[in-house]
Chain A
Amino acid sequence: MTSLVIAEHDNASLKAATLNTVTAALQCGAEVHVLVVGANAAAAAAAAAQVAGVTKVLHADGEPFAHALAENITAQILTVAQNYSHIVFPATASGKNIAPRVAAKLDVGQISDVTQVISPDTFERPIYAGNAMATVQSGDAIKVITVRTTGFDAAPASGGSASIEALSAVAASDKTTFVGSEIAKNDRPELTAAKVIVSGGRALGSSEKFAEIMTPLADKLGAALGASRAAVDAGYAPNDWQVGQTGKIVAPQLYIAAGISGAIQHLAGMKDSKVIVAINKDPEAPIFSVADYGLEADLFVAIPELVAKL
């Protein structure tokens, strides 16, 4: 029983989600290998070899993998898939893009967003936006799963000494080509790995106000910025800031929700946070039902005051 973790990385280093995924994989079986598929990704492979608990790193390198296109990564995973009992991805945009493709090629079911490994074939996962938790059992020979990183601690990034084995890279698919990307550059922590998140809702009223009110608070707390779907749809915040059922699932130490009413779809994305603070004018806002500390106030007054007092 050996599990294969599909590393998420930027070629130079591992993304934090990979470490949580290793922990989940260690719970599935005794041995864990990590597959690093990238372009000039030797540094990421070396980092994977250092992760505690990993016994072998497989490294496939080539230009077709520069942009993590699902077709090419899937083809590479399939060259080794049959050697493993579990193929484990982080439930990130990239993991969700690739895992079902791998599962279908292996003619097995896929289990999404695993929050707990109960036994090697039995897993817990949320359904209905987290309003119910299902315990599911896979009857397939190879279990292809994506894991919710908030459900598992990060494996220590050092302490391991795995061997690194090079795989020959598969040929690129000619059906898909990368055109370009707009990735926002900022110095803030990643939303899914942040210890503190300050999140804004539709009440902010405009992208200018969102930036003017929320940014100083995030700066002060060293926090990542998040947003409700309403705020993203209205164009106040970029799409990848969306916290909720279909956006990012987060579980920071402190989550501050400002001007967010708390639709069930939003709560699904943040209710596992350790401490939740809600600032809202509406005393009936559902967000107060999950908040540890609720402040009924106008956020345009309360947030600047909070920044001043911190």
Chain B
Amino acid sequence: MKVLVAVKRVVDYNVKVRVKSDNTGVDITNVKMSMNPFDEIAIEEAVRLKEKGVVTEIIAVSAGVTQCQETLRTAMAIGADRAILVETSEELQPLAVAKLLKALIDKEQPGLIILGKQAIDDDCNQTGQMLAALAELPQATFASKIEVADGKARVTREIDGGLETISVSLPAVITADLRLNEPRYVTLPNIMKAKKKPLEVIKPEDLGVDVSPRIKTLKVCEPPKRSAGIKVADVAALVDKLKNEAKVI
């Protein structure tokens, strides 16, 4: 079975972004970029399924600027077999990415599609669900455990109040939550090997997809600042402040 995994290049999770002074967006020049952490978990899960013999081939896909090739090389260093970049400098929104992935599903016919549940830049949490809808596939979002057997995936999902297990027939779209696995560190030999793996670059037009944005960003601002309060000396002082100053207890 083939598995397709989507990966996004985002500002590294350790970077505290700054809003541009003209309020048009956040400043990402000379900022460290990495693979979206949830997508790293998605790739790791695909590699584990391959190690178990469930999956035969892992295709990593990304959409965006030329530099996304680095993200795809990382995916291949973790264990993806080949990669496809849909290259465009257009701002890509989840619906557009879902349409690109849908076109690639039609072409590649994977038995399973895994994505991260959310990208940590736009925090949308949409692409997997949209892809499932467009491809008429069942979805299992926020996965913390995946077992594949007999043409089905049994997926444990993180929901409000606890966990839920559903069974989806394959092909299906699964989105990875934090606790699905802990991604391995990429080793130097695997980074070298990844450089030799095939990476195909195509354009949205090749897939016949219109990626123009539906949602316009009018401005981006700093959030209201919360200023630090005071340090209290001991528990008694804390109780006094909560009771008499903040009046919250």
User: In chain B, what residue has the closest Cβ to A178?
Assistant: B166
Which listed residue, A232, A254, A294, touches B242 by the CB 8 Å rule?
A254
Interface contact B161-A246, CB-CB below 8 Å: no
A47 within 8 A of B: no
* A-B CB pair tally, cutoff 8 Å: 251
User: Given that A129-B120, A182-B162, A233-B179 are contacting pairs, would A100 and B130 also be in contact in the complex, using a CB cutoff of 8 Å?
Assistant: yes
22 contacts between A and B (CB under 8 A): A71-B138, A93-B159, A100-B125, A100-B133, A104-B129, A108-B95, A127-B123, A134-B219, A135-B217, A135-B221, A136-B218, A176-B166, A176-B167, A176-B168, A240-B159, A240-B162, A246-B177, A254-B246, A275-B248, A277-B238, A295-B232, A309-B239
Interface contact A139-B16, CB-CB below 8 Å: no
- Majority DSSP secondary structure for residues of A touching B: mixed
Which listed residue, A99, A291, A309, touches B235 by the CB 8 Å rule?
A309
A12: chain B residues at CB < 8 Å are: none
Interface contact A112-B125, CB-CB below 8 Å: yes
A18 within 8 A of B: no
A30 within 8 A of B: no
A216 within 8 A of B: no
User: Given that A253-B248, A309-B239 are contacting pairs, would A295 and B234 also be in contact in the complex, using a CB cutoff of 8 Å?
Assistant: yes
Interface mask (A37-79 → B, CB under 8 Å = 1, otherwise 0): 0000000000000000000000000000001011100100000
Which listed residue, A71, A94, A309, touches B236 by the CB 8 Å rule?
A309
Given A133-B223, A254-B249, list of 9 further CB < 8 A pairs?
A100-B128, A104-B131, A128-B11, A139-B215, A181-B159, A184-B162, A239-B158, A274-B248, A293-B241
A177: chain B residues at CB < 8 Å are: 166-167
Instruction: Report the Cα distance A235→B148, complex, angstroms.
Output: 25
A265 within 8 A of B: yes
B213: chain A residues at CB < 8 Å are: 109
B196 within 8 A of A: no
B122 within 8 A of A: yes
B120: chain A residues at CB < 8 Å are: 128-129, 245-246
B11: chain A residues at CB < 8 Å are: 128
Per the 8 Å Cβ criterion, residues 199-223 of A in contact with B are: 221
A168 within 8 A of B: no
Which listed residue, B125, B138, B139, B165, touches A179 by the CB 8 Å rule?
B165
- Majority DSSP secondary structure for residues of B touching A: mixed
Interface mask (B124-156 → A, CB under 8 Å = 1, otherwise 0): 111111111110011111101000000000100
Least distance between A310 CB and chain B CB atoms (Å): 7
A289: chain B residues at CB < 8 Å are: 228
B54 within 8 A of A: no
Which listed residue, B38, B133, B177, touches A104 by the CB 8 Å rule?
B133
